[in-house]
Amino acid sequence: MTIQEIKNRFGIIGGSSLLDRAIDIAKQVSPTDLTVLITGESGTGKEVFPQIIHALSARKHGQYIAVNCGAIPEGTIDSELFGHEKGSFTGAHEARKGYFEVANGGTIFLDEVAEMPIATQARLLRVLESGEFIKVGSSKVLKTDVRVVAATNVNIQQAIEKGKFREDLFYRLNTVPIVVPPLRERKQDIHLLFRKFAADFSSKYRMPTIKLDPSAEQILSNYYWQGNIRQLKNITEQISVIEKNRDITADIMIKYLPIHQTAQLPVLASTSTASNDFSERDILYKVLFDMKKEMMDLKKIVVDLIENDNQLNQDFPPENAQLIKKLFQDVGTPETAIQLGYNTSMPNMNSQNQIPVMEMVEETLSLHEIEEDMIKKALTKHKGKRKNAAKELGISERTLYRKINEYGIK
C-alpha cells in the first residue's frame, strides 16, 4: 500500500514531507511487533497512526483498544489496564478483565502515556518485557500477547528529569519513534485542511461554503496554530456558522485568531519561582560586571598617565580624576582599600586634576568575600532594613536571611 493510498483510507490530508515520513515509518513498522512511541504537539492527529499500524499488521483481525491514560483516575487505572478480582477494593462486586487481557492478540494504544502514575508505569514495563501481569487483588500471574503503541505531547526527557516518568520505560516504549509535525511546519497543508473542513461544515449545516481571499490565506498560513489541526477545525467551524459573508477577508479572519498567539517573536521567559542559586549568581555577576567596567576605565587612565610620562597636564581629562576619587570613595578607608587589594596612600588634593598615586596589588578575592561585602553595603545603605536591601541586591528576603546567617553578618 502506497503512502497516498494510506492517506485516502484514513482521511489524512497534506503533502508535507515531514508528514509523509511519519506515515512511511508507521507503514514499515506495522508488520513487526515492535513497540512504537508517537510524539507531537496536542491536536496534530497522533491518534491516526496507531490505527494505521494496527490495520497494516498481522494483528488487524484482533482487538484494537485506545486508552486515554490522562482521563483515568489514578486509583482505578491499574484496574482498567490489568483487571481486578471480586472484592479487591470497595465497589469491586465482581471480577473484571483489564484491557491487556481483552486485547490479547491485538493492539493497545496508550494515549497520553506520560500522565500514567509511576506505580502503573512499573507494571506496564513488566508487560512490555515479559508479557506478564497480575490483576488487582490477585496473586496469579497472567500472560498476554499485545502490541503496544503509545503517544504523548509531553517532553519525556523533562518528565524523566523531574522524576515523573521512568527512564527504563521510555527506552522500552521508544523502540521505534514517530514524530508527528505541528501544523506550522506544514504550511502548504493549512489551506487544504481549511477547505476540507469548510466543505464538511457546509454540508453539515446546509449553507454555502466559505472561501478565503489571498490576504486571508496569507494570515492563515503565517499563524502559529498552537492547537494545530484541532484549532484550525474549530475556527473553520466558527466562521462557517457565524459569518454571513461567505467570502472571508483578512479582517474577518483576524477576529477569530487569538491575538496572543499570532506573535512569533522569541520571548525570554521569566518566572517568580526561580531558584535561590540563580538569585545568588545574579548578585555575583552584577558585582563582577561592575568591577570589570571600573577596571577598564582605570586602565584607560593608566594609559593616559604613561603617555604623559606620569605627569598631569592640561589635557588630562578632569573626569578621570573624578573617577579615581569615586573608586576611593567606593572602597572606603585606606585600611579597607588594603583589604580589598589596593596599596595606596591618600595625598592632599590641592587641585581639580591632582590624583592620588595608586599601586595595584595582585590579590585574588573569593566570590564569597565580594558577595559578603555587597550585602554589608546594602544593609548599611538601608539602615538594616532587610526588605529594602534584598530588593536592591535583586534577591529574595529568604535568600538574604540565609546569607546573613551564613556569613555571620550583624
**pLDDT tens for each residue of 77-98:** 999 999 999 988 888 889 999 9
The pLDDT, as a whole number, for residue 152 is 96
Cβ atoms of 132 and 142 closer than 8 Å: yes
| Mean pLDDT, the chain, integer | 82
Which ranges in the chain are annotated with CATH 1.10.8.60?
A: 185-262
Specify the pTM: 0.63
pLDDT for residue 342 is more than 90: no
C-alpha–C-alpha distance, residues 210 and 145, integer Å: 49
Residue 38 phi, psi (nearest 5): -100, 125
Higher pLDDT, 242 or 355: 242
- The second-level CATH assignment, the architecture, of 3-181 is 3-Layer(aba) Sandwich (3.40)
| C-alpha dihedral (43, 190, 262, 247), degrees to nearest 10 | -120
Please report, in angstroms and rounded to a whole number, the separation of the first and last CA atoms in the chain: 79
pLDDT for residue 223 is more than 70: yes
**Helix 276-307 / helix 318-331 crossing angle, nearest 10 deg:** 140
The pLDDT, as a whole number, for residue 343 is 44
pLDDT for residue 149 is more than 60: yes
Q: How confident is the model at residue 366 (pLDDT cuts 50, 70, 90)?
A: low
The pLDDT, as a whole number, for residue 344 is 42
Strands 107-111 and 147-152: parallel
Residue 352 phi, psi (nearest 5): -65, -35
Strand ranges for 89-131 from DSSP E: 107-111
**DSSP H/E element including 284:** helix 276-307
Q: Is 334 helix (H, G, I), strand (E, B) or coil?
A: helix
C-alpha–C-alpha distance, residues 116 and 170, integer Å: 12
pLDDT for residue 339 is more than 50: no
The C-alpha cell at 22 is 511519519
Cβ atoms of 44 and 229 closer than 8 Å: yes
Q: Please give the DSSP secondary-structure letter assigned to residue 181.
A: P
pLDDT for residue 204 is more than 90: yes
Question: Can you list the pairs that 321-328 forms with residues at least 24 positions away whose Cβ atoms lie under 8 Å?
Answer: 321/352, 321/353, 321/354, 321/355, 323/294, 323/297, 323/298, 324/298, 324/355, 324/356, 324/358, 325/349, 325/355, 327/294, 327/298, 328/356
pLDDT for residue 410 is more than 60: yes
The pLDDT, as a whole number, for residue 359 is 42
User: Which of 42-51, 313-322, 350-359 shows the highest mean pLDDT?
Assistant: 42-51
What CATH number does domain 185-262 carry, 1.10.3720.10, 1.10.8.60, 3.40.50.2000, 2.170.190.11?
1.10.8.60
Strand ranges for 128-267 from DSSP E: 132-134, 141-143, 147-152, 176-179, 211-212, 247-248
Higher pLDDT, 335 or 24: 24
Which ranges in the chain are annotated with CATH 3.40.50.300?
A: 3-181
Strand ranges for 87-204 from DSSP E: 107-111, 132-134, 141-143, 147-152, 176-179
The C-alpha cell at 225 is 496554530
Cβ atoms of 133 and 100 closer than 8 Å: yes
C-alpha–C-alpha distance, residues 7 and 20, integer Å: 9
pLDDT for residue 238 is more than 60: yes
Q: Say which range, 144-148, 224-228, 399-403, has the weakest mean pLDDT.
A: 399-403
**DSSP H/E element including 351:** none
